[in-house]
C-alpha cells in the first residue's frame, strides 16, 4: 500500500494546485465574498459550479440556521479529498483558504478527508421508503404529482429551488420555482436571514468621496453576475477584475481603457444580445407602480428588457468612472424609501417576470435585476416582512 | 489449428487486460462500493423523484426527428444507384428532401419548436 499512498498523495498535491472552490455566501457577507473571490483568483483556483466539481467548500459570512443546514447538505455531497473553510471576516479569507488547501493535500501526520463512503443523506424528514400502494420508491422520494398547466395540459409539477448555494446568485436568496415541462409556473422568493442582522449593506456603506467608486463597483459586480449566468465568462471575469481594482483603490484614469474595451466588446456581442433581448420586460408604468428606481427603473424608459438593463449599467459605470457622481440619496439599486429598500422592489417585480420562461431565461431575468440580499437582510428588522 | 491458437491468444490477452483492471482498482480505489449521493438542488432537499414524464412538446420534436430519420433510410439505397442513374436520381431525391423541408417549415411556422 506504500505505492498507492504515494501516488494518491502526489495526485492530491497536483489537484490542489488548481483548487475548485464552491462558495456559499450568507446575506450581508459581500465584503467576505469579495475577499474570497479575490483570494481564489490569486491562488490560481476556480469557482466551482456544483459540489461534484468542488474540492473546497468556503462559507462566507455568518449563515443563519436554514442556510447552515443547506451548507451541511452540500458538504455531504462533496466528494473527497475535500476541505472546508469558514470566512467570517474579510481578513480571514487568505489564512482560511491556505489552511483548507493544506488539509486538502493531507499534511504530514494528519488524515485527509476522503469523503463519506456511500449512502445518500438521510434527511428527508421521515418521508419513509414506502410509496403509493406499498411500492418502494428509490431514495424514499415520491414521483411528481400532476396538475393542469397554463396550456390546459396535465403535466408533472416539479418543485425546484434556485439558491441558496448557487454560483453567480444573490447570497442567501432562494426562489422556489414550480416547473411544468421546463416552464416556470410560479416563482416565490424568500431570503434566508443571516445569523446576525446586517448593520449596513456593503455597497451603500462608506459615503463621502468613495461613494461613486463603490457604486460603480456594485454595478460591475451585477454585470459580472449577469454575464456569468448568460455564459459570457470572459466578460464576467473582466467586469470582476475591474470591480476588484476599483475597490482596491486603483486610480480611475487607469481603469478607463480596460472599461472602454469591455464596453465595446459587450455592445458588439450579438450572442449576448440574443441571450438577453426581450427577457423580463418591465414597462415604465410597472416600474413606477412598484417603486423601482435606480438603473432598472431608468432602463424601463428604453425598452425595459434585460439588455436595456445591462446597457444602462454600462452607461452609469462609464459616467461614474468619468468623474460623475451618483444621484443624491440613491444607492446602486435605487432610492431607499423608509422600511423598503430598492432591492425589495426589484425582487417584487423580478419574481413575477420569471413566470412563463424556461429556467435559464428565468435566471437571466433575476440576474438582470440583481436584487442585493444585503439590503433585504438589513431591512428585516425595520419592520418589512422578510 | 493455428486459427484456434490465434483465437486462444486473443482470449488470453483480453482476460489478462480485464484482470489487470481489477488489480488496478483493488490497489488504487478510494472506496470499495459505489459512492451515492443526493442530487444537487442548490443545497435544498429534492421533493420529487427525478424520474418524471416528458413535456408533450418533446413529441413534436421527436416527430420532426423521425421525418429526417426515415429520409436517411431512403437515401441508403439511393446512394448505391445514384452514380448509375445519374442526374434524374439526384433531382428526384432533392425534390423529396424539399417536400420534407416544407413539412419542417410548416411545423416551425405553427410554433412546434417554440418553447416558452
Q: In which band, very low, low, confident or very high, does the pLDDT at A277 lie, cut at 50, 70 and 90?
A: very high
Which residues from B are below 8 Å from A160, CB to CB? Answer: 41
Interchain CB contact of A76 with B (< 8 Å): yes
Contacts of B63 (CB under 8 A, 6+ apart): none
Q: What is the mean pLDDT of residues B88-110?
A: 90
Chain B environment of A156 (Cβ under 8 Å): 48, 52-53
Q: Return the minimum-mean-pLDDT range out of A35-49, A124-138, A336-350.
A: A124-138
Q: Find the CB nearest A118 among B31, B38, B115.
A: B31
Joined together, the cell numbers standing for residue A385 give 416582512
Whether the pLDDT of residue A23 is over 80: the answer is: yes
CB under 8 Å to B104, separation ≥6 — which residues? Answer: B64, B67
In this prediction, residue B62 carries a pLDDT of 87
Reported confidence tier of residue A138, pLDDT bands at 50, 70, 90: low
* pLDDT value for B54: 75
Flag if B41 and A50 touch (Cβ within 8 Å). Answer: no
Comparing A47 with A135, the larger pLDDT belongs to A47
B88 touches chain A (CB under 8 A): no
CA–CA separation, A189 and A362 (whole Å)? 12
According to the model, what pLDDT value does residue A118 have? 44
Locate B76 and state its grid cell.
441508403
| A239 three-class SS | helix
**CA angle at residue A297 from A295 to A298, to 5 degrees?**
65
Q: Note whether A158 contacts B31, CB cutoff 8 Å.
A: no
Whether the pLDDT of residue B21 is over 60: the answer is: yes
Better-predicted residue by pLDDT, A256 or A14: A256
- Cα separation, A212 vs A330, whole angstroms: 11
Q: At what angle do helices B2-28 and A2-15 cross, to 10 degrees?
A: 70
Question: What is the per-residue pLDDT across A67-81, written as a single tens digit (0 to 9) for each?
Answer: 999 999 999 998 878
Backbone torsions φ then ψ of A220, nearest 5 degrees? -65, -35
User: In the prediction, which pLDDT does A352 show?
Assistant: 95
Q: Which tens digit of pLDDT belongs to each residue from A168-182? A: 999 999 999 999 877
A244-263: per-residue pLDDT in tens?
999 998 899 999 999 999 99
- Cell numbers for A205: 456603506
* Over residues B44-59, mean pLDDT: 81
Nearest residue on chain A to B51, alpha-carbon basis: A143
pLDDT of residue A127: 39
Q: CB contacts < 8 Å between A and B, how many?
A: 116
Q: Which residue has the higher pLDDT, B43 or A151?
A: B43
Give the mean model confidence (pLDDT) for residues B9-35: 88
| ipTM of model over 0.85 | no
Is the minimum CB–CB distance between A52 and chain B shorter than 8 Å? yes
Model pLDDT for residues A333-378, shown as the tens digit of each residue: 999 888 889 999 999 999 999 999 999 999 999 999 999 999 998 8
Report whether pLDDT(A24) > 80: yes
Grade residue A13 by pLDDT with cuts at 50, 70 and 90. Answer: confident
Q: Rounded mean pLDDT of chain A?
A: 86
Q: Which of A197-206, A285-294, B78-87 shows the lowest per-residue confidence on average (mean pLDDT)? A: A197-206
Confidence tier at A133 by pLDDT (50, 70, 90): very low
C-alpha cell at A289: 407602480
Average pLDDT for residues A94-119, to the nearest whole number? 73
- d(Cα A94, Cα A33) in Å, to the nearest integer? 12
In the prediction, which pLDDT does A361 show? 95
For position A360, what pLDDT does the model report? Answer: 93
Q: Which set of grid coordinates corresponds to residue B107?
A: 411545423
A229 in reach of chain B (CB within 8 A): no
Crossing angle for the helix pair A306-321 and A211-230, to the nearest 10 degrees: 150
State the virtual CA torsion across A48, A53, A55, A56 in degrees, nearest 10.
40
- pLDDT of amino acid A130: 39
**List of long-range contacts for A34-41, beta carbons under 8 Å, 24+ apart:** A34/A90, A34/A243, A34/A244, A34/A247, A35/A60, A35/A87, A35/A90, A35/A91, A35/A93, A35/A94, A36/A60, A36/A87, A36/A93, A36/A97, A37/A240, A37/A244, A38/A93, A38/A244, A39/A93, A39/A94, A39/A97, A40/A97, A41/A244
Q: Cβ contact (<8 Å) for B57 and A174?
A: no
What does the radius of gyration of chain B's CA atoms come to, in whole angstroms?
Answer: 27
Contact A20, A46 (CB under 8 A): yes
Q: Which residues of B touch A185 (CB under 8 A)?
A: none
Q: Is the Cβ pair A4, B40 closer than 8 Å? A: no
Q: Which residue has the higher pLDDT, A140 or A321?
A: A321
- Interface contact A115-B30, CB threshold 8 A: yes
Q: Averaged over B84-110, what is the pLDDT?
A: 90
- In terms of Cβ atoms closer than 10 Å to its own Cβ (0-12, 13-18, 19+), residue A220 is buried
- Asked if pLDDT for residue A2 goes beyond 90, the answer is no
pLDDT of B79 higher than 60: yes
| Cβ–Cβ contact A2 with B under 8 A | no
Q: Answer for the pair A333, A350: CB distance below 8 angstroms, yes or no.
A: no
- Nearest by CB to residue B44, choosing from A70, A144, A180, is A70
**Quick one: which H or E segment has residue A159?**
strand A154-162
Closest CA to A237 of A251, A223, A249: A223
Between CA A212 and CA A332 the distance in angstroms is 9
Which strands sit side by side in the sheet containing A154-162, from one edge to the other?
A: A145-148, A154-162, A173-180, A183-191
| Banded model confidence at residue A126, pLDDT cuts 50, 70, 90 | very low
Output the average pLDDT for chain B.
86
Mean pLDDT is lowest, of A233-237, A296-300, A329-333, for A329-333
Counting residues of chain B whose pLDDT is more than 70, the rounded percentage is 95
Instruction: Name every chain A residue with its beta carbon within 8 A of the beta carbon of B56.
Output: 153, 155, 181
Nearest residue to A156 via CA among A186, A180, A182? A180
Give yes or no for a contact between A376 and A343, defined as CB atoms under 8 angstroms apart: yes
Please report the pLDDT score of residue A116 as a whole number: 56
pLDDT (0 to 100) of residue A120 = 47
| Chain B residues touching A361 at Cβ < 8 A | 116
Q: Which residue of B has its CA nearest to A162?
A: B42
Amino acid at each position: 500500500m506504500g505505492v498507492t499512498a504515494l501516488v494518491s498523495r502526489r495526485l492530491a498535491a497536483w489537484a490542489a494546485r488548481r483548487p475548485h472552490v464552491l462558495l456559499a455566501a450568507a446575506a450581508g457577507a459581500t465584503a467576505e465574498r469579495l475577499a474570497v473571490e479575490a483570494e481564489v483568483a490569486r491562488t490560481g483556483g476556480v469557482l466551482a459550479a456544483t459540489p461534484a466539481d468542488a474540492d473546497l467548500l468556503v462559507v462566507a459570512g455568518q449563515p443563519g440556521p436554514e442556510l447552515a443546514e443547506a451548507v451541511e447538505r452540500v458538504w455531504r455531497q462533496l466528494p473527497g479529498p475535500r476541505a472546508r473553510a469558514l470566512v467570517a471576516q474579510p481578513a480571514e479569507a487568505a489564512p482560511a483558504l491556505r489552511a483548507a488547501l493544506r488539509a486538502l493535500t493531507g499534511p504530514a501526520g494528519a488524515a485527509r478527508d476522503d469523503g463519506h463512503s456511500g449512502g445518500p443523506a438521510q434527511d428527508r424528514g421521515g418521508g419513509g421508503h414506502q410509496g403509493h400502494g406499498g411500492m418502494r420508491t428509490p431514495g424514499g422520494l415520491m414521483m411528481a404529482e400532476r396538475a393542469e398547466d397554463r396550456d390546459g395540459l396535465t403535466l408533472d409539477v416539479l418543485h425546484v429551488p434556485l439558491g441558496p448555494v448557487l454560483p453567480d446568485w444573490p447570497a442567501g436568496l432562494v426562489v422556489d420555482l414550480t416547473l411544468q415541462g421546463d416552464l416556470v409556473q410560479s416563482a416565490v422568493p424568500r431570503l434566508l436571514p443571516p445569523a446576525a442582522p446586517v448593520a449596513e449593506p456593503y455597497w451603500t456603506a462608506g459615503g463621502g468621496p468613495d461613494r461613486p467608486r463603490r457604486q460603480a463597483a456594485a454595478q460591475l459586480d451585477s454585470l459580472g453576475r449577469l454575464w456569468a449566468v448568460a455564459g459570457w465568462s470572459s466578460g464576467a471575469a473582466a467586469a470582476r477584475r475591474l470591480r476588484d481594482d476599483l475597490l482596491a483603490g486603483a486610480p480611475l484614469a487607469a481603469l478607463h481603457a480596460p472599461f472602454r474595451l469591455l464596453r465595446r466588446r459587450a455592445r458588439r456581442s450579438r450572442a449576448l444580445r440574443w441571450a438577453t433581448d426581450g427577457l423580463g420586460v418591465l414597462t415604465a408604468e410597472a416600474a413606477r407602480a412598484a417603486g423601482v428606481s435606480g438603473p432598472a427603473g431608468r432602463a424601463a424608459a428604453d425598452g425595459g428588457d434585460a439588455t436595456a438593463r445591462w446597457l444602462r449599467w454600462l452607461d452609469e459605470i462609464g459616467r461614474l468612472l468619468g468623474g460623475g457622481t451618483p444621484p443624491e440619496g440613491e444607492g446602486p439599486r435605487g432610492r431607499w424609501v423608509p422600511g423598503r429598500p430598492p432591492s425589495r422592489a426589484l425582487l417584487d417585480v423580478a419574481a413575477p417576470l420569471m413566470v412563463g420562461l424556461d429556467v435559464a431565461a428565468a435566471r437571466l431575468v433575476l440576474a438582470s435585476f440583481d436584487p442585493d440580499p444585503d439590503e433585504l437582510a438589513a431591512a428585516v428588522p425595520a419592520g418589512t416582512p422578510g | 489449428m493455428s486459427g484456434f491458437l490465434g483465437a486462444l491468444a486473443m482470449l488470453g490477452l483480453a482476460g489478462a487486460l480485464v484482470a489487470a483492471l481489477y488489480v488496478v482498482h483493488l490497489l488504487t480505489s478510494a472506496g470499495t462500493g459505489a459512492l451515492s449521493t443526493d442530487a444537487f438542488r442548490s443545497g435544498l432537499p429534492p421533493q420529487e423523484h427525478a424520474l418524471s414524464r416528458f413535456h408533450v412538446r418533446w413529441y413534436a420534436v421527436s416527430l420532426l426527428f423521425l421525418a429526417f430519420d426515415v429520409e436517411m433510410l431512403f437515401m441508403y439505397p439511393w446512394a448505391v444507384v445514384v452514380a448509375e442513374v445519374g442526374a434524374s436520381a439526384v433531382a428526384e431525391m432533392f425534390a423529396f428532401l424539399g417536400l420534407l423541408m416544407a413539412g419542417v417549415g410548416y411545423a416551425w411556422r405553427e410554433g412546434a419548436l417554440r418553447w416558452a
